[in-house]
Amino acid sequence: MTDLKHHTVSSDRTTGQSSTPLGAQQLAELLTAIAADDRDAFTRFYRATHPRVFGLSLRIVRQRAAAEEVTQEVYLQVWKSAGQYDARLASPLGWLLMLTHRRSVDHVRVEARASTRDIAYGVRDLSRDHDVVAEAVGQRCEEQALAEGLRTLTTRQRETLALAFYGGRSYAEVADYLGLPLPTVKDRIRKGLQRLRSCLV
């Protein structure tokens, strides 16, 4: 698989640009060839579709390096599972973008969970060099209260807060990412913040 990744990247750099977009029938034929381990077919499929894959991933993960990583993962999955493509369920591009969306969302969720852990536990490492005992005790109590407060939030509230405040997303972007109405997202964040504030009173 590592050789395949280098093969794909190098072939893309060689052209410097994508080939003319292929139709659904041509892409389906390439997938059939890919399922038979045809690397040339894989390269053609990659060149014809990777701008759409990278563009979708970038809109979701919002970081170029992460989008590049997701894109490579998607095409490795194509190489492994091309034989599972079913034209009765989706067009080749629709199937490919579905894989991309899933991979991108998984990446963001992992990042959101990491941010949530940082909120809950990372704050305990802040300001450890203070010399004033009273201030250190107050800091420790506040950190413990915040960690306790985060544990009282629902999983959905923690994920939404992490996306909004640590993922750098606007409320509208969070709503779009989670597939929820904007008022629902605003209400979830408002209630989560209220619960955290009550823990620090």
Which tokens in the block code for residue 67?
């989008």
- For domain 2-108, the CATH class is mainly alpha
Pick from 158, 52, 133: nearest CA to 100 = 52
Report the C-alpha gap between 42 and 27 in whole angstroms: 10
* Packing angle, helices 64-81 and 92-121, rounded to 10: 130
Q: Is the pLDDT of residue 180 over 60?
A: yes
Instruction: Supply the pLDDT for residue 37.
Output: 93
What percentage of the chain exceeds 90 in pLDDT? Answer: 29
Q: Is the pLDDT of residue 18 over 50?
A: no
**What does pTM read for this prediction?**
0.55
pLDDT grade for 100, boundaries at 50, 70 and 90? very high
Count of positions (residues) in the chain: 201
Q: Where are the domains of the chain?
A: 2-108, 126-200
CATH number of this structure's domain 126-200, picked from the four choices 3.30.200.20, 3.40.50.720, 1.10.3720.10, 1.10.10.10? 1.10.10.10
* Tens digits of residue pLDDT in 79-98: 999 999 998 888 999 999 99
